Amino acid sequence: MNSTPNTFPRIQLELPQWITDFLQQQPTTFPTLETRMDFVTTLSKLNIEQGTGGPFGASVFRADTHQLIAPGVNLVLLSKNSLAHAEVMAIMLAQQILGDHDLGAAGLPPQELVTSCEPCAMCLGAICWSGVRHLVCGARGSDAETIGFDEGPKPQNWTAHLEERGISVTLDIGRPNATQVLRNYVEQGGEVYNSRQGPIETPG
Amino acid sequence: MNSTPNTFPRIQLELPQWITDFLQQQPTTFPTLETRMDFVTTLSKLNIEQGTGGPFGASVFRADTHQLIAPGVNLVLLSKNSLAHAEVMAIMLAQQILGDHDLGAAGLPPQELVTSCEPCAMCLGAICWSGVRHLVCGARGSDAETIGFDEGPKPQNWTAHLEERGISVTLDIGRPNATQVLRNYVEQGGEVYNSRQGPIETPG
């Protein structure tokens, strides 16, 4: 790359085929918090087994009918994209499917994001801008940190920041099961990729 | 949508054509902080003029040679994707061009993110995971808040959080110019889209 390119590539992100296959065996609505959490935790587990990414699953559901709108799994390594966290995939996909950058826009039913693990700093911000009205989490951020993942620069009172913006937060749904998936990932030698570490370099 | 879809759409994000056209008139390297900031601020200004998005521009540059690697502008409304902030676009594109989810990976030259405005909470997290080694900002978050944009749940000492992760932070480069672009956007009636507001609904 010694000159300015004539064009820039298109960024493309796609769910792996196994998700579509898996969904054929699943119901289309998930009436209880526990069944929705069980679904996203199963996604996180299958994502490891299928070798498509880290131990995180999430989905956007319609908050009134509990219909699955968009699933997501962590695809950072596969897609060579550090943004491709499970929550980000589910949010982007739901926005594309519903045709709006704001999942809380007038005319759309309210939406809920269910995630197998509390959001990192980036996903916390992404949730604020997504338009979802409800957030449901399985494992705690501290559970992810215990196995070596960095949660990033997140305020202590992060749930209050969401609630201030009209987003309800429900924690610890199916936490033991969701945490076990994280532990299994590390025990099986899964890669814990994180932010850069080390000394600050002098700017050039 | 009354049943589970057979497949999910691909998420696609693409820079508008005017950026490629504009780059043909630009140098390929930007030797000083000021010229790099001037470049991204011009992107933020052109993004308004061209009607492709909000008043924010960013770019990833090689930190050693100051070559432009990937530009980015805010494309939230155009792409119907609340993640498509200028910093996110530049980071995703640089990762795709360099073929790694980690812009600080061994074998890659160090990378710098220059942004016309301090990152919001989401972009702050995204910067941590991106692998860039340097961050340079124009307008302050408070300048964006003054015109009505919400910065999101961001720790007060956010620069320290980046520095802890080996990312240098340089603030206030070309701040008056970058702030003027924000002001112009609002004075011209540009849409200030934000997180949902209003009361918390009872989960269904």
pLDDT at B5: 61
pLDDT at A12: 96
Contacts of A36 (CB under 8 A, 6+ apart): A30, A59, A61, A66, A112, A114, A136
Active site members of A? 87
Confidence of residue A129 (pLDDT cuts 50, 70, 90): very high
- Contact yes or no for B93/A8 (Cβ under 8 A): yes
| Per-chain mean pLDDT for chain A | 93
Beta bridge partners of A112: A61, A134
Comparing CA positions, the residue from A190, A196, A181 lying closest to residue A38 is A181
The predicted model scores a pTM of 0.95
Q: Known catalytic residue: B191?
A: no
Q: From the CB of residue B181, how many other CB atoms can be counted at a distance below 10 Å? A: 24
From the list A84, A133, A200, the residue facing B196 with the nearest CB is A133
Q: Using a CB–CB cutoff of 8 Å, tell me whether B104 touches chain A.
A: yes
Location of structure tokens 């559901």: A61
Instruction: Give the model confidence (pLDDT) of A141-174 as tens digits.
Output: 999 999 899 999 999 999 999 999 999 999 999 9
First to last CA, chain A: 19
- Contact yes or no for B59/B40 (Cβ under 8 A): yes
Inter-chain residue contact A168 with B110, CB threshold 8 Å: no
- Contact yes or no for A114/A61 (Cβ under 8 A): yes
Rounded to the nearest angstrom, the minimum Cα separation between B105 and chain A is: 9
